[in-house]
Amino acid sequence: MAVDLVLKDGIVIVNDSEKVQSVAIDSGKIEGFYKHGEEPEGKRTIDCRGLYILPGLIDMHVHLRDLNQSEKEDYETGTMAAAAGGITTVVDMPNSSPPVLTREVLDQKIASASAKCYVNVGFYAGIGKRFDTSMVPDILGLKVYPHSPLTEGVNYDIKRIKKCVQLANKHDLPLLFHPDSATMDEKPETREEFFLIHSCESEVNSLQAFLDAKVEYEARLHVCHVSCAATARLILEHRAEHTLTAEVTPHHMLLSGENFPHTDGVAKMLPPLRSPYDTQMLAQALCKKCAIDCVGSDHAPHISSEKTTSFLEAASGIPGLETTLPLVLTEVFEGRISWIDFLRCCCSGPAMILGIPSKGILAEGYDADIVVVRKQEWHISGADFYSKAKLTPFEGRRVLAKPVTTIVGGEVVYHEGRFMVGPGIVGRVPIRKV
Which residue from 15, 13, 60 is spatially nearest to 349, judged by alpha carbons?
60
Q: Residue 385 and residue 184: Cα distance in Å, rounded?
A: 33
Complex with ligand DOR: residue 48 or 267, whichever CB lies closer = 267
Q: What are phi and psi of 58, to 5 degrees?
A: -115, 115
Least distance between ligand DOR and beta carbon 299 (Å) = 9
Which residue from 59, 57, 39 is spatially nearest to 48, judged by alpha carbons?
39
Q: What are phi and psi of 10, to 5 degrees?
A: -90, 180
Q: How many residues make contact with ligand DOR (CB under 6 A)?
A: 8
Is 298 one of the annotated active-site residues of the chain? yes
Query: What is the rounded end-to-end Cα distance, in angstroms, of the chain?
Result: 35
Residue type, 144: V
Does 249 sit near ligand DOR (CB under 6 A)? no
Q: Which of residues 83-122 bind ligand DOR (CB under 6 A)?
A: 95
Least distance between ligand DOR and beta carbon 107 (Å) = 22
Q: Which of residues 45-104 bind Zn ion (CB under 5 A)?
A: none
Contacting Zn ion (CB under 5 A), which of 72, 143, 178, 388? 178
The kind and range of the H/E element at 209 are helix 200-216
Complex with ligand DOR: residue 65 or 344, whichever CB lies closer = 65
Does 226 sit near ligand DOR (CB under 6 A)? no
95 binds, among ligand DOR, Zn ion, none (CB under 5 to 8 A by kind): ligand DOR
269 binds, among Zn ion, ligand DOR, none (CB under 5 to 8 A by kind): ligand DOR
Contacting ligand DOR (CB under 6 A), which of 8, 61, 63, 220? 63
The residue annotated as part of the active site, out of 298, 341, 367, 369, is: 298
Does 298 sit near Zn ion (CB under 5 A)? yes
Does 178 sit near ligand DOR (CB under 6 A)? yes
Coil/strand/helix, residue 83? helix
**Angle subtended at Cα 387 by Cα 119 and Cα 142, rounded to the nearest 5 degrees:** 60
Sign of the four-CA dihedral 307, 311, 316, 321: positive
Q: Are 310 and 316 in contact (CB under 8 A)?
A: no
Any idea what DSSP says for residue 133?
G
Half-sphere exposure of 366 (CA within 13 A, CB side): 22
Does 353 sit near ligand DOR (CB under 6 A)? no
235 binds, among Zn ion, ligand DOR, none (CB under 5 to 8 A by kind): none
Contacting ligand DOR (CB under 6 A), which of 300, 337, 351, 404? 300
Q: Are 414 and 83 in contact (CB under 8 A)?
A: yes
Does 10 sit near ligand DOR (CB under 6 A)? no
Any idea what DSSP says for residue 280?
H
Q: Which residues bind Zn ion (CB under 5 A)?
A: 178, 298
Q: Which residues are catalytic?
A: 298
Q: Which residues bind ligand DOR (CB under 6 A)?
A: 63, 95, 178, 269-270, 300, 316-317
